Amino acid sequence: MTGVVLGLIAGIAFGYVITRVGATNPEKMARAHLMMEPAIPQFMLTAVAAAAIGLTGLVAVGRADLSPLPTSLVATGLAAVIFGVGWGLTGYCPGTTWAAVGEGRMDAVFALLGGLVGTAVFAHFHEAIIPVLYGPTNVGKITLMDALGDSRIAATVALVTVFGLGVWAIGKLWTRSYDA
Amino acid sequence: MPETDETAHPSEAEKRQQSARPREGAPYWPWFPSALALAGIILFVFVTHGPPASSSGFVSTMNGLIGVVAPDYVADKAHYTIIPGVGSWLMAFVVGMAAGGFLAGRISRSRPYDVPPIWTRRIGASRTKRYLATFVGGFLILFSARLAGGCTLGLFMSGSIQLAVSGLYFGVIIFAVAMLTARIVYANARGGSS
């Protein structure tokens, strides 16, 4: 029960912020993908960098529950390609469909329904797919710390630097030059 | 701001204003403070639950829906037994997101388009075509997110925040492929708008 209440509180806050910033608007997402408007990718990368700094602090005081996902070279990579096609086509990702449905977007209702069907189809074939695509190239729960002497601080600095440069570059490169 | 007709051809200035603002609503929040607010919410989730995720909420929901008619089937399938079902944090989170989107829409008084203007200009105003495309796209993003174990939030953002290579690897590819796909989808489908 506590889990439900905490999940609802977090979900309402999360959905509220991503809607107010425009991440649930597929028009803005399309313009982000077409390099016409920098705000949404800058918002996403900055949120990751800021949360990474905060999480490193929480880990230092022993308050965070970490469980990074493993990397499967084939499954994670192939999934990312399929995901990118769906994201570029619709302007929605799984989380934003829920908030966009709440906001009253009818095209998001269909994205949500398609998502439920996609989930059911994957779940049906899970036992057949995972051993073939995920297992063989699963290199485990590797993190940036593995390359940086197991130092969480060094890895966080590296991540924040790269994401910060990304935010800067997006601000420079995402212009209205490709008008649609 | 006067009401803009979706079928009219807006001027360049109007087009810009449309994309920057929800139709007839309050302006969108600036990205930087919003990102800090989102980071705060994500950290709250890490402390009170664990890494945040959205695509798992679809699994919990389907578990509940299919479980009504075929409880033996969901009890037998690995994917439904790995991910917590109805009544879990995961499902509460996605339901909460819909509620958050609803509140934001009412408070900012947005009246969203069912077909984005850029889609109307480039592909056409057909709702059927747009809904079919978002249904297919929704299928693709969830099928693939379940294969990878997470989505934009549960794998790219949660993973990168935890410094995981999986999140960064997934993130680079989804941005690159989505940008390429958008170029193809919105390229000249109707002989251009100029």
pLDDT in tens, B54-72: 999 999 999 999 999 999 9
B60 interfaces chain A, CB cutoff of 8 Å: no
- pLDDT tops 80 at residue B22: no
Provide mean pLDDT across the span B106-110: 91
Q: What residues in B contact A112, CB-CB < 8 Å? A: 138
Provide mean pLDDT across the span B110-131: 93
CA distance B163 to B157: 10
Question: Which of A12, A27, A145 shows the shortest C-beta gap to B116?
Answer: A27
Please tell me the least confidently modeled range out of A8-17, A61-70, A85-94, B147-156: A61-70
> Tell me, what's the pLDDT at B188?
61
In angstroms, the separation between the Cα of residue B182 and the nearest Cα of chain A is: 5
| Residue A178 belongs to a domain | no
CA B26 to chain CA centroid, Å, is: 21
pLDDT band at B110 (very low <50, low <70, confident <90, very high): confident
CB-based contact A80 B193, cutoff 8 Å: no
Question: Which of A33, A78, A103 shows the shortest C-beta gap to B101?
Answer: A103
**Token pair listed for A18:** 């991503």
CB-based contact B41 A127, cutoff 8 Å: no
Nearest chain B Cα to A5, which residue?
A: B92
In angstroms, the separation between the Cα of residue B17 and the nearest Cα of chain A is: 12
Over residues B175-194, the pLDDT tens digits come to: 999 999 999 999 865 444 44
| Residue A8 belongs to a domain | yes
Q: What is the mean pLDDT of chain A?
A: 95
Cross-strand bridge partners of residue A30: none
**Token pair listed for B28:** 């969108």
pLDDT band at A176 (very low <50, low <70, confident <90, very high): low
> Tell me, what's the pLDDT at A175?
85
> Tell me, what's the pLDDT at B21?
58
Over residues A84-118, the pLDDT tens digits come to: 999 999 999 999 999 999 999 999 999 999 999 99
- pLDDT tops 50 at residue B5: no
CA distance B66 to B63: 6
| Residue A32 belongs to a domain | yes
pLDDT band at B111 (very low <50, low <70, confident <90, very high): confident
CB-based contact B161 A48, cutoff 8 Å: yes
| Residue A179 belongs to a domain | no
| Residue A128 belongs to a domain | yes
- A8 lies in which domain range? 2-173
- pLDDT tops 60 at residue B20: no
Provide mean pLDDT across the span A142-166: 97
Q: Are A39 and A47 in contact (CB under 8 A)?
A: no
Residue of B162, B170, B193 to mutate for A, most A C-beta atoms under 10 A: B162
CB-based contact A30 B47, cutoff 8 Å: no
Q: What residues in A contact B17, CB-CB < 8 Å? A: none
Q: What residues in A contact B189, CB-CB < 8 Å? A: none
Q: Are A81 and B127 in contact (CB under 8 A)?
A: no
> Tell me, what's the pLDDT at B26?
78
Residue written as tokens 């809607």?
A19
- pLDDT tops 60 at residue B163: yes
For chain A, how many structural domains are there in total? 1
> Tell me, what's the pLDDT at B6?
42
- pLDDT tops 60 at residue B17: no
| Residue A79 belongs to a domain | yes
ipTM over 0.90: yes
Provide mean pLDDT across the span A133-154: 96
CA distance B37 to B40: 5
Cross-strand bridge partners of residue A128: none
Q: Which one-letter amino acid corresponds to residue A74?
A: V
Q: What is the mean pLDDT of chain B?
A: 89
| Residue A180 belongs to a domain | no
Question: Which of A7, A155, A163 shows the shortest C-beta gap to B93?
Answer: A7
CB-based contact B50 A65, cutoff 8 Å: yes
Q: What residues in B contact A180, CB-CB < 8 Å? A: 118, 121-122, 186, 193
B4 interfaces chain A, CB cutoff of 8 Å: no
pLDDT band at B1 (very low <50, low <70, confident <90, very high): very low
pTM of the model as a whole = 0.92
Q: How far apart are the first and last CA of chain A?
A: 48
**What single-letter DSSP state applies at residue B51?**
S
CB-based contact A10 B147, cutoff 8 Å: no
- pLDDT tops 90 at residue B78: yes
| Residue A87 belongs to a domain | yes
CA distance B117 to B113: 8
